Structure 1
Amino acid sequence: MSDSPEKISMAGRVRNNFLTGLIICAPLAITIWLTFTFIDWADSWVTPYIPQRYNPEYYFNIAIPGTGLVVAMIIITMIGFLGKNLIGRSIVNFGESILNRTPLVRTIYKSLKQIFETVLKDQSTSFKKVGLIEFPTPGTWALVFISADAQGEVAARFAEMGEEMVAVFLPPTPVPTAGFLLFVPKNKIIMLDMSPEDAAKLLISGGLISPDYIPKALPQGAPPVTVPLPE
């Protein structure tokens, strides 16, 4: 019986070491797996269309991961460069005019273009702010990403009622890739200082990973805020 605590202690140390190693290795392994999966996916789409004389794999006789991804990035960058000048812009406008005359395709194209322009625009503030709203019942709060002020008919309808509404995206936990689009009164949103990246970590971890928070400096002369410790 005397050596039982030692055995338990040894087992506890082994368990703690395993958990520590898991915390270190799991995120690294998943990150590497996702990265190479994305590279392989890009290669499978682009590499077959690369002319043989421009494909490094033809000369080295081995598969080079990332070739298709690099070529795709170069082509996209060149298209963006050409699209800024007069000739390139004319070609883009001609192509868009054809798509805009094609039933069904024009709806998909316009929707996707508007989404990408909104998300990738430098001056856009969409999804760059985080807040809290009461959901699903009063007194219960949910984390949301601020999308934009309500626009168009939605804004006009609420303006008739004297409400200034904001569109927010409410993602679920632990996979915040789908969710709900909600229109919330601006004065009902509690804005947070955390970044969208920190908010995503909080959501994915189910509240286990909470970002550090440094309270703002109190106004001069204001009494310090104290938090009672549990007994």
Structure 2
Amino acid sequence: MPIKTYLLTGLLVWLPLAVTIWILLWLVGMLDAIFGGLLSVLQAVVAPVTAAELERWRNVPGLGVVLVFSALLLTGALVSNVAGRWWLARWERLFTHIPIFRTIYNSVKKVSDTLFAGDGHAFRTALLVQYPREGVWTIAFQTGVPSGEVADHLGSDRISVYVPTTPNPTSGFFLVVARSEVIELRMSVDEALTYVLSMGAVAPVTTPAVPVKPVFTP
């Protein structure tokens, strides 16, 4: 019995660290793969001598992470001024005129602008919703309010929510529900995600929930 207890205790100590390291190594490998792909393209268009030099850089571990991070930082700095925004507008105009590509690009851009906007409301509130049937509750996140034709059909007293799946929250379901049918939680989004990932095993210590109030108006 003590051996089993020790094994489980040791697993609880090392498992979070191992998973964290695994995720970080996966991210580093992915960024290095992107960097390697760029090097392959450059090698195809430059002289053999230069190609040999590029091949030497391919074997530097972690270099892709540094270069991708630097490129993102430099891009953000450039588009933060008037000239940078002008070039960004020309860049986006070019992409929006390419068939098929523009459909994917516009969809991804709208989603990313909504999720990462500093003044946005997406994924700022954790909720309890009844899903997949009445009487069964699950964690959800408010993503906005319906607009356009959806709002015309359903009315204004509705909110848009995302219900993540467990234990993989990157997939889930999009629902439009009445405000009166959800419960707003005081726990943070991080706490709610932890609750979902742990399949309810790790419950955050928070104050009691209260009925949802209008979080924001369109």
The reply on whether 1:15 has 2:1 as its aligned counterpart is no
Aligned counterpart, 2:17: 28
Q: Deviations over 1:100-121 (max 9, x none)?
A: 1111111111111111111111
The reply on whether 1:104 has 2:100 as its aligned counterpart is yes
1:1-231 alignment to 2 at 5 Å? 12-47=1-36, 49=38, 63-159=59-155, 163-215=156-208
1:47 CA drift (Å): 4.7
One-letter amino acid matched to 2:7: F
Question: What stretches of structure 2 of length at least 5 have no aligned partner?
Answer: 43-49, 210-218
Q: Deviations over 1:134-193 (max 9, x none)?
A: 22222221211111111222112222xxx5110001112222211111000111110001
Q: Deviations over 1:65-119 (max 9, x none)?
A: 3211111111111112112223322222222112111111111111111111111
Aligned equivalents of 1:149 and 1:47: distance in 2? 42
Larger Rg: 1
SS of corresponding position for 2:119: coil
What do you get for the CA RMSD once the two structures are aligned?
2.5
Instruction: Please say if residues 57 and 64 of structure 1, whose CA atoms lie closer than 8 Å, have aligned partners that are also in contact.
Output: no
Aligned equivalents of 1:112 and 1:76: distance in 2? 17
Give the length in aligned residue pairs.
199
Question: What is the TM-score with the length of structure 1 in the denominator?
Answer: 0.78
1:16 CA drift (Å): 0.6
The structure-2 alpha-carbon separation of the partners of 1:128 and 1:206, relative to structure 1 and needing over 3 Å to count, comes to same
Q: Deviations over 1:184-206 (max 9, x none)?
A: 01111100011111111211222
Range that drifts further, 42-51 or 97-106: 42-51
1:20 CA drift (Å): 0.4
Aligned equivalents of 1:136 and 1:48: distance in 2? 43
One-letter amino acid matched to 1:169: Y
Aligned equivalents of 1:127 and 1:181: distance in 2? 13
Instruction: Please say if residues 186 and 207 of structure 2, whose CA atoms lie closer than 8 Å, have aligned partners that are also in contact.
Output: no
Question: What is the TM-score with the length of structure 2 in the denominator?
Answer: 0.82
Aligned equivalents of 1:191 and 1:17: distance in 2? 40
Range that drifts further, 169-178 or 81-90: 81-90
Aligned equivalents of 1:213 and 1:97: distance in 2? 47
Range that drifts further, 62-71 or 72-81: 62-71
SS of corresponding position for 2:171: coil
Instruction: Please say if residues 170 and 180 of structure 1, whose CA atoms lie closer than 8 Å, have aligned partners that are also in contact.
Output: yes
SS of corresponding position for 1:110: helix
Aligned equivalents of 1:215 and 1:207: distance in 2? 17
One-letter amino acid matched to 1:208: A
